[in-house]
C-alpha cells in the first residue's frame, strides 16, 4: 500500500451560514498568493460553492461525499490531490454532525483534523462554550481549534479566546467586513462566472484581512495526513473500461446550464467518450454527437432567450426524434418540458420533448440524496430545486430517498430521453452511465 503525506485541514461549523466558504476562499487566495498549491474539496452535492472556491484557489474543486461517491472513490481523490498539493482543504456542509454521513464522519474516516468556523456576532464566551461542546461531542474526532468569523473588535476576540481551554486554541479571527462577503441568490451563492471581477475584489480583500490578522500562523497547527492509494479489490469501479470509445457526448454548458460535476466529465472521458460543449442560449445548432447531456442550472433566469432560440430547439427535437440518448437533469429536465414559467410568472415555450409545465415556486423546494433506479442500474445522486412540474407523463420510476420511505423524484423515459429533477453522480455506477449514453438498458 502506497501512502502520501500532505498537510490537510477540514473547515466545519455549527450550522450553515457561518462563513465557511468565505473563510475557505480567502484562505485559499492568501496561500495562492504565496505560491502554494491548494487543493479544495467540498463536502456534499454542491455546485455553487466549488465554482467560487475554484476561482479563489486557481485549482479544480472536487465534491466529496461518502454516500454519493463511495469510500474507495473518495480515498482515491484524496490520494490524487496529495500527490500535487502543498495543502488540502475540505469545506464541510451544514453543521458539523448534520447528515448521514456527516462532515465529522468524513473527517474521521480520513484522519483529517477539523477547525470550527463560527459566526461569533452577538456572543462572546458563549462562542467558546459552543466550540468546546462540538469538539467534545465525539471521541473519534480531532478538533484543533476555533476560527472566529465576524469578530467585532480586538476586545471581542479576547473575550472568546480567554474562555477557550488550552486544548482548543483560537486559531484565527476574521474581522467583520462586508467587503469579503459572497453574493447569494435563491439556490445559494451566485455562480462564479457571473460576478468574476467582483469575486476577485472580495478574494483579495479577504486575503488582505486574513494576512493582516496573522491568519497564516494557522499553518503551524496543520500537520501532514497520510492518504493511501486504493487497491483494485477495494475499488467498486477499478479502472472503468473503455465502454464509450467512439461515442461523442454533446454537453450543454452556458449561463443557463452550469451544474456539472467535473468528476462526471472525467469519468466519461476515462471511458473513452469525446465531450463537445455547446450553448442552448447562444449557439444556433447542436454539434454532431451520438448522445446529449442537458445538466442542471438556472434556465428560469434565461427562459425567454432559450425559448427564442428556435433553431437550437429544432435541433434538440430532431435529436430526440432520431431516438438518440439524452440525459436531462433538473434544469435540463425543465428545458425538455413544453413550457417554463420564470420567477416573474411569465410562461415561455421550451423544447417540448415531453409533456408538462415547469413552474418556479419561490422559497419552497426539494432537496436530498436519492438513488435513481434506472433500467441500466442504480445511480446515486441528489435533488435540489425550487420549481415544480405539472401534467407530466407517468414516470417509469421514482428516486429512492436515502433516509425516508416516501417516493423521491419522478423519473421519465420517453424514447431514449431520461429526464428527472435528479442530479446524477456518474462514478457511483460507471457501467450504468455508459449504457445510458449508449442507449442500452441493462
Catalytic residues: 330
* Beta strands, E only, 262-406: 274-278, 291-294, 296-297, 326-329, 339-341, 347-349, 357-360, 366-374, 377-385, 387-390, 397-401
Angular region, 323: left φ>0, alpha ψ -120 to 50, beta rest: left
Taking only Cα atoms into account, the Rg of the chain, rounded to an integer number of angstroms, comes to 23
Residues in CB range of 192: below 8 A, 6 or more apart: 51, 52, 54, 55, 199
Spatial separation of the C-alpha atoms in residues 425 and 437, rounded to whole Å: 14
Q: Which residues contact 301 (CB under 8 A, 6 or more apart)?
A: 255, 256, 342, 343
Q: From CA 255, how far away is CA 197, in angstroms rounded?
A: 16
State the cell numbers at 331.
434544469
Evaluate whether 27 touches 203 at the Cβ level (below 8 Å): no
- Rounded Cα–Cα distance for residues 95 and 17 (Å): 9
Count the helices and strands in the chain (H runs, E runs): 13, 26
* CA count, 13 A, side-chain hemisphere, 213: 27
The conformational region for residue 188 under phi > 0 = left, psi -120 to 50 = alpha, else beta, is: left
Give the DSSP per-residue string, 6-45: EEEEEEE-SSTTSSHHHHHHHHHHHHHHTT--EEEEEESS
Q: By C-alpha distance, which of 282, 338, 323, 272 is closest to 306? A: 282
Check the CA dihedral 279-283-288-290 and report its sign: positive
Mark 226-251 as b/e (b = at least 16 C-beta within 10 Å). Answer: ebbebeeeeeebeebeebbeebebbb
Q: What angle do CA 19, 23, 25 make, to 5 degrees?
A: 120
Closest-CA residue to 251 (of 336, 328, 313, 351): 328
Amino acid at each position: 500500500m502506497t501512502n502520501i503525506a500532505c498537510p490537510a485541514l477540514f473547515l466545519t461549523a455549527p450550522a450553515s451560514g457561518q462563513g465557511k466558504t468565505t473563510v475557505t476562499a480567502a484562505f485559499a487566495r492568501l496561500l495562492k498568493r504565496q505560491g502554494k498549491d491548494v487543493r479544495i474539496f467540498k463536502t456534499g452535492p454542491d455546485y455553487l460553492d466549488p465554482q467560487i472556491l475554484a476561482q479563489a484557489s486557481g485549482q479544480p474543486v472536487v465534491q466529496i461525499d461518502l454516500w454519493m461517491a463511495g469510500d474507495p472513490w473518495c480515498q482515491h481523490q484524496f490520494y490524487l490531490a496529495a500527490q500535487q498539493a502543498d495543502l488540502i482543504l475540505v469545506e464541510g456542509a451544514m453543521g458539523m454532525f448534520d447528515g448521514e454521513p456527516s462532515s465529522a464522519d468524513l473527517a474521521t474516516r480520513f484522519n483529517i483534523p477539523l477547525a470550527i468556523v463560527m459566526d461569533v456576532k452577538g456572543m462572546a464566551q458563549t462562542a467558546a462554550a459552543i466550540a468546546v461542546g462540538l469538539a467534545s461531542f465525539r471521541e473519534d474526532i480531532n478538533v484543533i481549534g476555533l476560527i472566529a468569523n465576524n469578530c467585532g473588535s480586538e476586545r471581542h476576540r479576547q473575550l472568546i479566546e480567554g474562555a477557550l481551554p488550552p486544548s482548543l486554541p483560537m486559531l484565527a479571527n476574521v474581522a467583520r467586513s462586508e467587503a469579503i462577503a459572497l453574493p447569494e441568490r435563491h439556490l445559494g451563492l451566485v455562480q462564479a462566472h457571473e460576478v468574476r471581477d467582483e469575486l476577485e475584489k472580495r478574494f483579495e480583500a479577504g486575503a488582505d484581512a486574513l494576512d493582516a490578522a496573522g491568519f497564516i500562523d494557522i499553518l503551524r497547527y496543520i500537520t501532514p495526513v497520510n492518504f493511501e492509494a486504493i487497491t483494485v479489490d477495494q475499488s467498486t469501479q477499478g479502472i472503468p473500461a473503455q465502454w464509450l470509445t467512439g461515442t461523442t457526448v454533446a454537453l450543454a454548458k452556458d449561463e443557463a446550464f452550469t451544474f456539472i460535476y467535473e468528476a462526471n466529465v472525467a469519468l466519461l472521458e476515462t471511458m473513452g467518450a469525446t465531450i463537445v460543449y455547446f450553448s442552448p442560449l447562444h449557439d444556433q445548432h447542436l454539434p454532431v454527437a451520438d448522445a446529449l447531456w442537458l445538466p442542471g442550472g438556472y434556465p428560469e433566469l434565461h427562459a425567454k432567450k432559450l425559448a427564442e432560440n428556435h433553431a437550437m430547439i429544432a435541433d434538440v427535437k430532431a435529436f430526440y426524434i432520431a431516438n438518440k440518448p439524452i440525459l436531462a437533469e433538473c434544469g435540463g429536465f425543465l428545458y425538455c418540458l413544453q413550457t417554463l414559467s420564470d420567477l416573474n410568472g411569465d410562461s415561455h415555450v421550451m423544447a417540448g420533448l415531453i409533456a408538462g409545465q415547469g413552474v418556479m415556486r419561490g422559497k419552497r423546494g426539494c432537496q436530498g440524496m436519492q438513488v435513481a433506479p434506472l433500467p441500466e442500474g442504480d445511480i446515486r445522486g441528489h435533488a435540489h430545486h425550487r420549481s415544480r412540474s405539472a401534467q407530466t407523463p407517468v414516470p417509469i420510476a421514482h428516486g429512492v430517498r436515502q433516509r425516508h420511505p416516501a417516493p423521491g423524484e419522478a423519473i421519465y423515459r420517453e424514447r431514449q430521453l431520461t429526464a428527472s429533477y435528479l442530479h446524477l453522480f456518474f462514478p457511483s455506477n460507471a457501467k450504468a452511465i455508459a449504457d445510458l449514453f449508449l442507449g442500452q438498458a441493462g
